[in-house]
Structure 1
Amino acid sequence: MKEGISVEERLFRKSDKPSEDLSCNWHYKKSADYSDFVSTDLSGKWCIFASPTEVDGTWSKISGAIENNQLMCAKVSTALRSIGHNGHVICVYTHDWADRSDIMRARDVLRSLGFVKELGYKRDIDTRNRIYGAGEWYLRA
């Protein structure tokens, strides 16, 4: 053990990189225009899955788009949340799953950032109702 670094500091280390952070389950980012956003039964999210080696760069792209007010907000699973899973998930939110034009506008921003493979969009009400597997995705694009 390195001198001066406790076991707790190593086990629960905080990092700005999602791939290294063991202090919390999620990192969040909101644009200044949507700082009051909270998940509701009307909101939903595009889900991007990333490996531990890709997640930091992927999160950086999403964070940049949020800082530029291209996207409303997002969260990324950290190393702590990803223990026992094959990788990370990044959720990019929209206000209203019934607003198809806003959902597709966010999807177009993601495409412009290089996320060209098909993504799934999930309604937050379905997440709260624990709908997974068949019927999980409200939309795929």
Structure 2
Amino acid sequence: MKKEIAGEARLFRKSEKPSEDWSCNWHYAHSASYNSIASTDAAGKWCIFSSSVEVDEHWGKIRHAMENDQLMCAKVSTALRSMSRDGHVICVYTRDWTDVQDVAGARDVLRLLGFVAELGYKRDIDTVNGVYGPGEWYLRA
């Protein structure tokens, strides 16, 4: 008879809902016209911070926009990744942070989806270089 370790069932539980998934750190999605989430020096992302109560609804809106080819690709932190943090983060990617139309276009889509509060935009190169805290955001809009 196998002795069950407390919390083991919860720790490895897989779910389509980010708020309930304990099997991995991130869920990924992309539009039909984009088939890879790759970090490059030119890539960047809008960061949406969500509570555990709101993250599944927010992720659903983002995924729907990608299914309609309005956004390129995104990832969301799961319950496992957010375990020691205050809530979740959804990263909505753009190809090139120097492409003002692409960056602003993604922000416009996010506003139409109801993400009207100010969001931070971060270049992937800054994430790679460990830029966090003061000066973290390349752009706020």
1:1-141 residue pairs with structure 2 within 5 A?
Answer: 8-141=8-141
What displacement does 1:32 show? 1.1
* Percent pairwise identity: 70
3-state SS, counterpart of residue 70 of structure 2: coil
3-state SS, counterpart of residue 32 of structure 1: coil
In 1, distance between residues paired with 2:7 and 2:50? Answer: 29
Alignment deviations for residues 53-111 of structure 1 (CA, whole Å, 9 cap, x no partner): 00000000000000100000000000000011110000000000000111000000000
What displacement does 1:37 show? 3.9
What displacement does 1:134 show? 1.0
In 2, distance between residues paired with 1:132 and 1:7? Answer: 32
Q: Quick one: structure 1 residues 31 and 52, their matched pair in 2 at CA, closer, same or farther if it must change by over 3 Å?
A: same
Pairs aligned (count): 136
In 2, distance between residues paired with 1:30 and 1:51? Answer: 22
In 1, distance between residues paired with 2:105 and 2:133? Answer: 26
* Number of the residue aligned with 1:3: none
The answer for unaligned runs of 5 or more in structure 1 is: 1-5
What displacement does 1:7 show? 6.0
- Work out whether residues 11 and 80 of structure 2, in 8 Å CA contact, stay in contact via their aligned partners in 1: no
3-state SS, counterpart of residue 14 of structure 1: coil
> CA RMSD of the aligned region, Å?
1.2
The answer for unaligned runs of 5 or more in structure 2 is: 1-5
Q: TM-score, normalised by structure 1?
A: 0.93
